[in-house]
Amino acid sequence: MSFISRGFRGKRRDAASSSRVPPGQYVVNDFPVLSAGPTPRVAFSEWTFVVEGEIDQPKKWTWEEFRKLPTEEVTKDIHCVTKWTKLDTAWKGVSVDTILEGVETSAEYVMAFSYGGYTTNLPLEDVTGGKAWVAYEFDGQPLHPEHGGPARLLVPHLYFWKSAKWVRGLRLLNKDEPGFWESNGYNMYGDPWREQRYWGD
C-alpha cells in the first residue's frame, strides 16, 4: 500500500538528517525570507563586485565579467540563527578563492558589504579554502531578489546571516570589525555547531 511506504520513507529521511542538524535547530522544507530592510532591485547593467581595503590593486567586475569567471556547483546545508535549517540547498556561483586569486594581502578579516547597506564580518580563512562562494543561482534558477539576487555570499558553515544577500564586495581588513548584526548582540563568528548566536556564546 502506498500509504505505508510513504510513511516509511519519511522516517528514514529524518534519521539520516539528524546528524546534520546543529543544536537548537529544526528542519524546514520551504526557504524563509529574512530581511532587515526593503529588497534592493539591482539591474545587471548596474551591478558590480569589488575587492578593496588592504589590497594594492582593488579588483572590480561588471556582471558580464563576473559571469565569465569559473563557476562551481555546490549542495550545502544552511543554518539560520532564527533556528531553521534547510538541507541540501543547491547553488551555482564563483568560489571566493577564484575572486581572491593572485591577491596579496596582510588582511586576516573581511567585511562583506551589500546593496542596501548590510554588512557582515568574517575571518579571511573562513571564506577561503573552498568554504565560501558568491552565488547567483539557486536550485537551477537565477537567484531571486528576495533571496539576495543578483548575487549573494554563501558561507554555509556559519549561521546564514553571514551569507550576505545582494553582496557587492569584500573589504579586506587587518582587524576584525562588527557588521550590521554583530554590532548589536550577534556573535562575531557564528558557528552553528557551537551555537554561537549572541555575544559571549
Partner 1 sequence: MTVQQSDLKLDGNAIAGLLREIFTMEMTTAESTCAGCHKVHAVGQVEVYMNAPGAVVRCPACGQVQMRIVKGGGRYWLDLSGIRCLEFSA
Q: Which residues bind partner 1 (CB under 8 A)?
A: 32-43, 46, 81-82, 115-117, 145, 161, 181, 183-186, 197-199, 201
**Nearest distance from residue 7's CB to partner 1, in Å?**
33
Burial group, residue 89, by CB count within 10 angstroms (0-12, 13-18, 19+): middle
Distance CA 127, CA 95 (A): 9
Tell me the closest approach of the beta carbon of residue 6 to partner 1, in angstroms. 32
Please count the other Cβ atoms lying within 10 Å of the Cβ belonging to residue 74: 15
Of residues 16 and 33, the one with the C-beta less far from partner 1: 33
Provide, rounded to whole angstroms, the least separation between the CB of residue 171 and partner 1.
19
Closest CA to 99 of 141, 138, 127: 127
**Nearest distance from C-beta of residue 34 to partner 1, angstroms:** 5
Nearer to partner 1, 39 or 62 (CB): 39
| Contact between residue 132 and residue 190 where contact means Cβ atoms under 8 Å apart | no
**Nearer residue to partner 1 within complex by CB, 38 or 102:** 38
Q: Which is nearer to partner 1, 123 or 145 (CB)?
A: 145
| Smaller CB separation from partner 1, 25 or 95 | 25
Shortest Å distance, C-beta 153 to partner 1: 16
Helix (H) or strand (E) holding 107: none
Q: Which three cell numbers stand for residue 153?
A: 555570499
Closest to partner 1 by CB, 76 or 162: 162
To the nearest whole angstrom, how small is the minimum distance from the Cβ of residue 39 to partner 1?
5
Long-range contacts of 131-135 (CB under 8 A, 24+ apart): 131/96, 131/155, 131/157, 132/95, 132/96, 133/72, 133/74, 133/91, 133/93, 133/94, 133/95, 133/96, 134/49, 134/66, 134/93, 134/94, 134/96, 134/99, 134/167, 135/91, 135/92, 135/93
